[in-house]
């Protein structure tokens, strides 16, 4: 499990407005942590790309457009990761990193 890989992740059970069901998510935690810890940080993805907010990024996974939702950034046990789907390109990872920085208030939103 490495940074920029996209995996099918089981997000159930959930509470309130948390992301639901089994869906793709990209690993954004660093590879040293990914190697030694029993958990990873992921950004969930959706195929619904009609509206994109500043804390979201449009990316391609296996030639299909998806939306990474940094507002749903979460830590999950590696046991929740089911199947590896692929790996994001460097430009797509940069888009997700930007969305995460917007979500965490590390940079200002630009129009």
pLDDT digits (tens, 9 = 90+) for 17-76: 767 689 999 999 999 999 999 999 999 999 999 999 999 999 999 999 999 999 999 999
Mean pLDDT value across residues 72-99: 97
pLDDT for residue 38: 98
4 phi and psi angles, rounded to 5 deg: 85, -5
Q: Is residue 80 part of a domain?
A: yes
Q: Is residue 108 part of a domain?
A: no
Q: Is residue 111 part of a domain?
A: no
Pair 68, 48: CB distance under 8 Å: no
DSSP result, 7-47: EEEE--S--TTS--SEEEEEE-S-HHHHHHSSEEEEEEEES
Domains in the chain: how many in total? 1
pLDDT over 80 at 14, yes or no: no
**Could you list the residue range(s) of the whole structural domain that residue 45 is in?**
5-103
Give the residues across from 70 on adjacent strands.
none
Q: Is residue 29 part of a domain?
A: yes
């Amino acid at each position: 499990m490495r940074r920029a890989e996209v995996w099918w992740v089981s997000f159930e059970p959930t509470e309130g407005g948390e992301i639901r069901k089994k869906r793709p998510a990209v690993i954004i935690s660093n590879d040293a942590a990914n190697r030694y810890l029993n958990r990873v940080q992921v950004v969930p993805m959706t195929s619904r790309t009609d509206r994109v907010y500043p804390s979201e990024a449009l990316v391609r996974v296996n030639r299909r457009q998806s939306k990474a939702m940094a507002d749903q950034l979460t830590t999950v046990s590696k046991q929740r990761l089911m199947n590896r789907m692929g790996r994001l390109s460097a430009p797509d990872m940069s888009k997700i990193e930007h969305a995460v920085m917007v979500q965490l208030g590390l940079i200002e939103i630009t129009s």
